[in-house]
Amino acid sequence: MTAGVNSQKKKNHETANYHRTQMQKEIVIQRLREQGCRITKQRLMLLDVILNEDCSCCKEIYYRAAEVDPGIGAATVYRMVNLLEEIGAISRKNMYRIACGAVCDREKACTIELDDDTIKELSAKSWNAVVLAGLKACGYIDKQRIKSVVVQSCDCEEAG
């Protein structure tokens, strides 16, 4: 019985995400039309990739889109991303993806500025250990490992 309830909850969650994504897609398509843009198959496919995938840069979007349509060009992806940014559908400047794992040897992978203007630079291994320890201490994880972290930059007045 419990497995059936959990399965139904998962299905309802996936359906909610699908409806939300479809609604977002329809709003973006309407804004593109208002700008006088044609809604081509490639634009629809790119929109699906952007809304449904965890891409942090144009290159990642291009690689995912090329899996669906090998004939797509990088310039098409960049133009679409720029267009989506112009209509306010996405913002590239506020999204960063950090993908250094525990075995990465990169030095200065993370720079932290403290309120007393002290700067702390952490290697990828140190950064990973700090985040992992924090997640465990707060009860967010047990035995999982960090795959990547997506950080939104803060535009509020309190941000340094």
- Domain boundaries defined on the chain: 2-92, 96-152
Q: What is the mean pLDDT of residues 84-97?
A: 70
> pLDDT band at residue 145, thresholds of 50, 70 and 90?
confident
Regarding pTM above 0.75, the answer is: no
Q: What is the mean pLDDT of residues 72-88?
A: 89
- Domain at 2-92, CATH class: mainly alpha
> pLDDT band at residue 46, thresholds of 50, 70 and 90?
very high
As a whole number of angstroms, the longest Cα–Cα distance in the chain is 56
Q: What is the mean pLDDT of residues 125-141?
A: 87
For CA atoms 71, 73, 74, 77, give the dihedral sign. Answer: negative
Q: What is the mean pLDDT of residues 28-39?
A: 91
Decide which of 46 and 18 is more confident. Answer: 46
